[in-house]
Amino acid sequence: MEAKRAAAERAVSYVTDGMVVGLGTGSTANWAIRALGEGVKAGLRIKAVASSVASEQLALEAGIAITDFSALSRIDVTIDGADEVDPEANLIKGGSGALLREKILAYNSRQFIVVVDEAKLVDTLGKFPLPVEIAPFAAALTLRQLQRLGCQASIRHQGGERFVTDNANLVADCSFGIIASPGKLYEQLALLPGVMEQGLFLQPMVSRLIIGYLDGRVEDRWLQR
């Protein structure tokens, strides 16, 4: 918890007056939202856009005003977590099912800052099942196509019910074990009808990677974008 918090708080130190800030989703992003809320209470002036209903609620509770996606023409910085990070800073995201809005924010931000604890670092992506957001009406067909790519795919459930995203879609969790070529898989998934978004976030997308360690260290890597 402290490692996630330390990484998130370092990321928030890059937010300055007048910025439009994209808010990620998940426990690490939540630390960033809380820290931003403290900043706002102390006088920081920002506009924020949230990647999920959950993050929007937390932001409002923290005193951060939320702007609608449709009202934005630019996003200065988005701060978000990840489920896995490989040595090239390619990511798996979507553990909380917010991948579609998260990717729109990341792609449209001048800076995309990823905040993780050291447990998220991997040599090769794929141990964490890759979340893929799919259209509900064609779920069975799309699931079969995903399986043909060499994974075990299943529809995500929560509390005994199918998990429904904030965009009214479903999530297929795809266990590949090892993703030998993230670029090739990205293209294959991008070509599949019924796939609304995939949890692979490939470089060059991340502009800064901040890693919190259990011993209290924070590693802050600037990556050209």
Ligand X SMILES: O=C(CO)[C@H](O)[C@H](O)COP(=O)(O)O
Minimum gap (Å) between residue 96 Cβ and ligand X: 3
Place of tokens 């060499």: 150
Q: How far is the CB of 103 from ligand X (least distance, A)?
A: 10
Which residue of 6, 23, 24, 173 would you call a contact of ligand X, by CB under 6 A?
24
As measured in angstroms, the least distance from the Cβ of 30 to ligand X is: 8
d(CA 171, CA 98): 10
Site residues (CB under 6 A) for ligand X, limited to 29-58: 29
Mapped onto helix, strand or coil, the DSSP state of residue 147 is: helix
- Does position 212 interact with ligand X (CB under 6 A)? The reply is no
When CB distances to ligand X are compared, the closest residue is 95
Amino acid at 217: R
- Which CB sits closer to ligand X, 95 or 194? 95
CB < 8 Å & 24+ apart, contacts of 214-220: 214/2, 214/3, 214/117, 214/118, 216/2, 216/6, 218/6, 218/7, 218/10, 220/10
CA-based angle 197:115:107, to the nearest 5? 35
73-102 residues in contact with ligand X (CB under 6 A) are 80-83, 93-99, 102
Residue 102 appears among annotated catalytic residues: yes
Q: Catalytic residue among 9, 102, 133, 197, which? A: 102
Q: Site residues (CB under 6 A) for ligand X?
A: 24-29, 80-83, 93-99, 102
